[in-house]
Amino acid sequence: MKRYSGFGLFKHSLSHHENWQRMWRTPTPKKVYDVVIVGGGGHGLATAYYLAKEHGITNVAVIEKGYLGGGNTARNTTIVRSNYLWDESAKLYEHAMKLWEGLSQDINYNVMFSQRGVYNLCHTLQDIRDSERRVNANRLNGVDGELLNTEQVAAEIPYLDCSKNTRYPILGATIQRRGGVARHDAVAWGYARAADALGVDLIQQTEVIGFRKENGAVIGVETNKGFIGAKRVGVVTAGNSGHMARLAGFRLPLESHPLQALVSEPIKPIIDSVIMSNAVHGYISQSDKGDLVIGAGIDSWVGYGQRGSYPIIEHTMQAIVEMFPILSRVRMNRQWGGIVDTCPDACPIISKTPVKNLFFNCGWGTGGFKATPGSGNVFAASLAKGEMHPLAAPFSIDRFYNGALIDEHGAAAVAH
Amino acid sequence: MLHIFCPHCGELRSEEEFHASGQAHIARPLDPNSCTDEEWGTYMFFRDNLRGIHHELWDHVAGCRQYFNVTRNTETYEILETYKIGEQPKVTARENTPATSAAVNERGENV
Amino acid sequence: MSQTYRLSSGGRVDRSKVLNFTFNGKSYQGYAGDSLAAALLANGVDIVGRSFKYSRPRGIIASGTEEPNAILQLGATEATQIPNVRATQQPLYSGLVATSTNGWPNVNTDVMGILGKVGGSMMPPGFYYKTFMYPKSFWMTYEKYIRKAAGLGRSPLQNDPDSYDYMNQHCDVLIVGSGPAGLAAALAAGRSGARVILADEQEEFGGSLLDTRETLDGKPAADWVASVIAELQAMPEVTLLPRATVNGYHDHNFLTIHERLTDHLGDHAPLGQVRHRVHRVRAKRVVLATGAHERPLVYGNNDVPGNMLAGAISVYVRRYGVAPGRKLVLSTNNDHAYRAALDWHDAGLQVVAIADARHNPRGSLVEEARAKGIRILTSSAIIESRGTKHVTGARVAAIDTVAHKVTSPGEWLECDLIGTSGGYSPIVHLASHLGGRPVWRDDILGFVPGDAPQKRVCVGGINGVYALGDALADGFEGGVRAATEAGFQPTTGSLPKTVARKEEASVALFQVPHDKGTARAPKQFVDQQNDVTAAAIELATREGFESVEHVKRYTALGFGTDQGKLGNINGLAIAARSMGITIPQMGTTMFRPNYTPVTFGAVAGRHCGHIFEPVRFTALHSWHLKNNAEFEDVGQWKRPWYFPKPGEDLHTAVERECKAVRASVGLLDASTLGKIDIQGPDAREFLNRVYTNAWTKLDVGKARYGLMCKEDGMVFDDGVTACVADNHFIMTTTTGGAARVLQWLELYHQTEWPELKVYFTSVTDHWATMTLSGPNSRKLLAEVTDIDLDKDAFPFMTWKEGNVGGVPARVFRISFTGELSYEVNVQANYAMGVLEKIVEAGKKYNLTPYGTETMHVLRAEKGFIIVGQDTDGSMNPDDLNMSWCVGRNKPFSWIGLRGMNREDCLREDRKQLVGLKPVDPKKWLPEGAQLVNDPNQPIPMDMVGHVTSSYAFNSLGYSFAMGVVKGGLKRMGERVYSPQADGSVIEAEIVSSVFFDPKGEQQNV
């Protein structure tokens, strides 16, 4: 892999950029791999990268039915934070946060991870209590966080309506200053390029249509282009995880819902951080191109159409205008939807399954993007060793039987 | 925005009046105490989550407040039928038997 | 001199109405009927902006929604600023103030432009992914400068003075677009009697008929438009919506129309008018008559101001009477574009030459041009243009379109205007919003709508039907079909006659070859708003970005406010050629709403500020206001939080209120608690199934506290339920939980136990509830009621009917404070009168109104939980030390029992609710403080619990708290520690959660 640098860019400019290398190969699948990853989104590509880099397992294929990073990776609103309530999730997301903090250099690809800070607004006394609880838990878990009062919020976020004239006046906010946003496509491409360089085969436009099993263990995947053997299979297919599980012969505690988002036309920078509100139900940040990136809640029904219902967009716009009345005359450019696999406790499933050697990493719901490096890292370790990584262990499917749920609804009530 | 025929009201109404309540035809086990943890967890949490023909429970919350079932294609969002609780769907997917997980014990028949 | 480029006659503008406006601080004049773009061109304004990445000067290219460059800031005042207005779509009004969005110090002399020239070669697509990485800590600094270049226009910094709304519409046929096909469809559908909405994004109906040189029945096409509109206006079931863009085609034929009601009058809506309105339309059938966009050709320096779409030139000449130049060179691959040359020629202007990529064009329009003596160069195209701030010449050369090669050195033609046409792209956006993938047609060199489940008919240009007569016929037939499918009788009618002409096929040409090769040729722009060049697209494919979505995302092709209306097909074609595949193999990117941008405020409608969500007030609200209450939002309710007296803050007021209740009597408005009337012979059995405790033996006249769990055994609501008759109960719920509990009861009744005869009715708003609490509550109540309040006649946990304050009331003797208490329920509309009597009688007892805060304190002193504060969805009744409220032996396996018995719920070290007493009684444990056994351990610490409720100001005289602690019920008397953010540690003793009157002597007197 030719490393990227400012000097390299200059050199290429002299030859009119005619000599750039491909970012990844288009390989012909081998007969059998040590590990096959199903799903070429951020999580799947990160898994492949860490398998190769940290565990020396390079005989790996990532099988993607469309194009790399084309599912929820391409559709999310790119928020990164780790201020989750419960110990298990805080540790997992903080593991991801630490990897984010060195990711661009690690994979030699600028993922534009921008620690602009993530605010969660409080509008009720119970919001304040919950926030205090979360911030305190975060602090003792080594995750940064502060609780701000209304005056501090008003000072830090210009144009946010902190007056008492709103329907649900802002009583305070939590802030994770290490939180922020990253360039979603770059995350997928950067991991893809780095994994490819270590020998991982990235196989696009190939759909897994079944799992071949022998004696209760998976031995490979059937695809629309033929069988590919595998000693271990990791499925990282987000919204399609339920469908994949069905192909493998079991069910998951998941439902796949549409999650919508929208962007404004590009405007000059006006919002410098990420601002989220559960009670008013919307969140907003501004991209480096100037688009306001705005998120909505999920539609309440199962949907695989990558689109949801219009009233969700309306309600989200109402929330944004309620929070930032000055934005009322700005215009919305485009809306879209993803398919999010939501778990009853708003936490992921990183787990073995009833089929031996078949592992699933799913259920990230509305918040998977922020976990991408951590998710890939612990899933790679689990696939490499055949045993779940300690940070992943609490997220086993078993919790839905024994009752040891990790209820993060408070931290994830609004999609993000 | 979906347009849903409420079988109780006998009218097509906009989705805003309704609330989706998840997969239909999940009967509460008649004797919960005899269920294993796995069976009980399966009843509470595990869902078909189908891509394609899906039977789901809806509530006409801002209308007649009655629950009813909807057969809907989760890819095209087309609604194929709506029917009252206790009735069986007329439209089903060809291979729509739920994948087997933990066997659930005796189920109520009234849903 | 004003309006140098205005033609002496022609156009649909009203030359008698001169309108003054300013652009970049300079004053100009235009006419009523002008678009801002037309007025700028009339005044010879070339440069309207600077490009995003290279800071190149840019001019107006198009005349409608597809315009990528003329994106301006509008607004005369700070509050009425509108960012990113497309000048081609903005009608001119008197006093309009517009500015460019980029360029420093101004668009004509832009310093950044020099940087763009020098640094541009360092900025291929994705350059930021490849640099700015080192040193690691510098990204935020780099980004600060990158962000400086972000954005086009700016948001206003003051609140919007305008209002918006939305409207629900139901129609039989919605027709999108009022060009020839749309108008014909509207006539057909309208005449059938169907309820029709005709929406068009432009100021006037007519579409291409407003600028066409063709005639209908031998008369100007606009005459026919006027007669059709007159006929439609006379139809009572037809709604005409001009200035109304259909922006989204959603599921089940739900569409949104963004109507701009006053943007043609000024930047601020006149008093009393709504600026924009969103129509939310449910249509039985939709007719898409959206037409087509002309594609520009992609050639070197094609972004120099003065390079325009051929069709746009016709529009400016014929519709606005504006000539955006003097000497035109046209480059085309099709017949239609010849209209621009003919219109130009007819206006008395010079057509230098037409370069036609075809070998031997012989269509009617071509021959007409030949007959007028216009020079036509065949097998040729403009391969590059020249000029810094405006076009000064076009280089025309012979090309081989198949081999993608220049085959002659060509010649430079002097000109000040270049028009190009690479064919037409049907506007398939709405047809594709629901995922129906467009289908490529080689014969028309464009994508047409693919199959989709929605009930729609596509007519005219969207189908690739471009000839006027065909479009009219297609439209009429489509209108008939839509109306018939919606249940109306088909209609017939004659359509106006068009002049037949011979038309020849176009030849595929997207990027024009250059003798230097794409990477080294002068920049050939594909997407001008995002500065995406043909070289960038080739580079993307070279780097492995092969999917159309990858190309789009890597190069930013089509990411702008025009969403690639001009550039996308050209981009696809370039990517396809570069990879050696066909355009249909390449496919399109997803089309998503909105077709054109929609104002946030319009989407939000009226639902902001105080009607963001409904506010619920109790019947006593005005009394609370009069008594200076501070309010707390609980669900949608405004509840009195506390009643400060002059000089009091929250703490002093609450301490006073608490003490007053314990010493004498207090009054709480408890009306917001959910109240559900439950009736039917199986009501009791139903309660047994949804509550954790037993209800079989609750006699008439008695009341009982109940806990409700979900199937997982976790507590989700609680409240007191009273037995009115053997088949009649009144259930109370938490304030926030009322609606979901009712829904929950209905769910189980309707889907699980329909055999139970029981009915649920919400009566929350029917009753007002006043709680009198404190040792003097009996004495006080006795003064206003005829009910016998004797301790034995009316014992604790019973209720009675009688009169209070002269009106019928239900009085419950239950207590949430631990004091002798009565909850007086009266019909809500009598409540104020009753309250006044109670208050009058209460004067001698120092009756003290108290709010939710004091209620929280007093109940905590007594160890009562608040669901949602002391629980979080992970607490079961045992965790709350409420096993006394769990009927494990009830015959029916009630909701929650099985869940409570799962492995993890039986652990002994679960977090359990206990009391917490700071060792230093002056210290207050913050609510939400975390607890540890060893405060000196390193981070991450092992947390054993947290504080759920905590009160420093109360009736006890010392700070106390409730919280959950792992295995806490077995740790009474032990210490836990709470490390605070400031580094201090608060030490607390684990105690019983009942701090006040553990034996219940106070409430049972």
Question: Looking at C560, C584, C612, which one is the last position of a domain?
Answer: C612
- Domain of residue C681, CATH code: 3.30.70.1400
Question: Looking at C142, C157, C172, which one is the last position of a domain?
Answer: C157
- The sign one gets for the Cα dihedral C461, C465, C467, C471 is negative
What percentage of chain C exceeds 90 in pLDDT? 91
Q: Which residues from chain B sit within 8 angstroms of residue C251, using beta carbons?
A: 1-3, 77
Looking at residue A306, its amino acid is Q
In this structure, the answer to whether residues C175 and C305 fall within a common structural domain is: no
pLDDT at B101 over 70: no
Q: Do A252 and B48 touch (CB under 8 A)?
A: no
Q: Where are the domains of chain B?
A: 3-84
pLDDT digits (tens, 9 = 90+) for A328-363: 999 999 999 999 999 999 999 999 999 999 999 999
Of C776, C665, C670, C650, whose CA–CA distance to C719 is shortest?
Answer: C670
Q: Where are the domains of chain A?
A: 28-109+183-254+345-412, 118-179+256-342
pLDDT digits (tens, 9 = 90+) for C31-61: 999 999 999 999 999 999 998 888 899 999 9
User: CB–CB of C317/C347 below 8 Å?
Assistant: yes
pLDDT category of residue A412 using cuts at 50, 70 and 90:
very low
In this structure, the answer to whether residues C42 and C142 fall within a common structural domain is: yes
**Quick one: tokens of A190?**
């950067």
pLDDT digits (tens, 9 = 90+) for C960-993: 999 999 999 999 999 999 999 999 999 999 999 9
Distance CA C677, CA B38 (A): 37
pLDDT at C117 over 80: no
Looking at residue C553, its amino acid is R
Distance CA C965, CA B48 (A): 38
In this structure, the answer to whether residues C179 and C282 fall within a common structural domain is: yes
Higher-confidence residue: C281 or A9?
A: C281
In this structure, the answer to whether residues C586 and C715 fall within a common structural domain is: no
State the CB neighbour count (10 A cutoff) for residue C661: 29
Q: Which residues from chain A sit within 8 angstroms of residue C539, using beta carbons?
A: 17, 20
Closest alpha carbon within chain A to C152: A267
Domain that holds residue C962: 906-991
What percentage of chain C exceeds 70 in pLDDT? 99
Smallest Cα distance from B47 to chain C, Å: 16
pLDDT at B51 over 90: yes
Q: What is the mean pLDDT of residues C119-143?
A: 85
pLDDT at B96 over 60: no
Higher-confidence residue: B106 or A298?
A: A298
pLDDT at B103 over 80: no
Q: Which residues from chain B sit within 8 angstroms of residue A401, using beta carbons?
A: 37-38, 40-42
* Confidence at residue C118, expressed as pLDDT on a 0 to 100 scale: 66
- CA distance readout (Å), C516 to C56, C74, C420: 21, 41, 21
- The answer to whether position C864 is within a domain reads no
Give the phi and the psi of residue C117 in degrees, each rounded to 5.
-70, -45
Q: Do B56 and A301 touch (CB under 8 A)?
A: yes
In this structure, the answer to whether residues C95 and C206 fall within a common structural domain is: no
Classify domain A118-179+256-342 at the CATH superfamily level: D-Amino Acid Oxidase, subunit A, domain 2 (3.30.9.10)
Partner-chain residue, chosen from A125, A165, A317, that has the shortest CB–CB distance to C632: A125
* Confidence at residue C332, expressed as pLDDT on a 0 to 100 scale: 98
In this structure, the answer to whether residues C525 and C606 fall within a common structural domain is: yes
Q: What is the mean pLDDT of residues C921-945?
A: 96
Q: Which residues from chain A sit within 8 angstroms of residue B23, using beta carbons?
A: 255, 302
In this structure, the answer to whether residues C705 and C755 fall within a common structural domain is: yes
Q: Does C253 touch chain B (CB under 8 A)?
A: yes
Residue count (chain B): 111
Q: What is the mean pLDDT of residues A283-302?
A: 94
pLDDT at C110 over 80: no
pLDDT digits (tens, 9 = 90+) for C361-396: 999 999 999 999 999 999 999 999 999 999 999 999
- The answer to whether position C277 is within a domain reads yes
Q: What is the mean pLDDT of residues A120-144?
A: 96
* Confidence at residue A413, expressed as pLDDT on a 0 to 100 scale: 40
pLDDT at A116 over 90: yes
Q: Do B19 and A300 touch (CB under 8 A)?
A: yes
Of A402, A387, A399, A375, whose CA–CA distance to A50 is shortest?
Answer: A375
Classify domain B3-84 at the CATH superfamily level: Folate-binding superfamily (3.30.2270.10)
Class of domain A28-109+183-254+345-412: alpha beta
pLDDT at B100 over 50: no
Q: Which residues from chain C sit within 8 angstroms of residue A139, using beta carbons?
A: 939, 981
**Quick one: tokens of A170?**
């802002």
pLDDT digits (tens, 9 = 90+) for C493-508: 889 999 988 999 999 9
Smallest Cα distance from B17 to chain C, Å: 14
Binning chain A into helix, strand and coil, the percentages to the nearest 5 are 35, 25, 40
* Confidence at residue B111, expressed as pLDDT on a 0 to 100 scale: 29
- The answer to whether position C654 is within a domain reads yes
In this structure, the answer to whether residues C452 and C473 fall within a common structural domain is: yes
Any idea which of A217-226, A292-301, C121-130 has the lowest mean pLDDT? C121-130
Of C911, C922, C927, C917, whose CA–CA distance to C876 is shortest?
Answer: C911
Q: Does C251 touch chain B (CB under 8 A)?
A: yes
Find residues 201-240 of chain C whose CB sits inside 8 Å of chain A.
Answer: none
Question: Looking at C730, C763, C796, which one is the last position of a domain?
Answer: C763
Number of structural domains (chain C) is 7
In this structure, the answer to whether residues C833 and C689 fall within a common structural domain is: no
pTM: 0.96
What percentage of chain A exceeds 90 in pLDDT? 92
Find residues 202-241 of chain A whose CB sits inside 8 Å of chain C.
Answer: 204
pLDDT at C290 over 80: yes
Q: What is the ipTM of this complex?
A: 0.96
Which of C600, C610, C650 to mutate to test binding with chain A, by most A CBs within 10 Å of its CB? C600
* Local structure of C631: helix, strand or coil: strand
Residue count (chain C): 1005
Mean pLDDT of chain C: 95
Smallest Cα distance from C249 to chain B, Å: 10
pLDDT at C286 over 60: yes
* Confidence at residue B102, expressed as pLDDT on a 0 to 100 scale: 33
Q: Which residues from chain C sit within 8 angstroms of residue A71, using beta carbons?
A: none
Q: Does A347 touch chain C (CB under 8 A)?
A: no
Q: Do A400 and B41 touch (CB under 8 A)?
A: yes
Looking at residue C585, its amino acid is Q
Partner-chain residue, chosen from A20, A137, A329, that has the shortest CB–CB distance to C160: A329
* Confidence at residue C116, expressed as pLDDT on a 0 to 100 scale: 67
Closest alpha carbon within chain B to A301: B20
Three-state SS annotation for C654-716: HHHHHHHHHHCCEEEECCCCEEEEEECCCHHHHHHHHECCCCCCCCCCEEEEEEEECCCCCEE
Residues of B at the A interface (Cβ-Cβ below 8 Å)?
1-2, 15-16, 19-20, 22-23, 37-38, 40-42, 44-51, 54, 56, 72, 74-77, 98-101
pLDDT category of residue B97 using cuts at 50, 70 and 90:
very low
In this structure, the answer to whether residues C124 and C194 fall within a common structural domain is: no
Chains near C (3 or more Cβ pairs under 8 Å): A, B
Q: Which residues from chain B sit within 8 angstroms of residue C252, using beta carbons?
A: 1-3, 77, 79
Q: Does C898 touch chain B (CB under 8 A)?
A: yes
Smallest Cα distance from A213 to chain C, Å: 32
Find residues 882-901 of chain C whose CB sits inside 8 Å of chain A.
Answer: 899
* Confidence at residue C585, expressed as pLDDT on a 0 to 100 scale: 94
Q: Do B19 and A400 touch (CB under 8 A)?
A: no
In this structure, the answer to whether residues C135 and C13 fall within a common structural domain is: yes
Smallest Cα distance from B70 to chain C, Å: 14
- Domain of residue C363, CATH code: 3.50.50.60
Find all residues with CB under 8 Å of A312, minimum gap 6, and list them.
Answer: A260, A296, A297, A299
pLDDT category of residue A414 using cuts at 50, 70 and 90:
very low
In this structure, the answer to whether residues C683 and C706 fall within a common structural domain is: yes
Q: How many helices (H) and strands (E) does chain C have?
A: 24, 51
Any idea which of A226-235, A269-278, C144-153, C653-662 has the lowest mean pLDDT? C144-153
* Confidence at residue A409, expressed as pLDDT on a 0 to 100 scale: 80
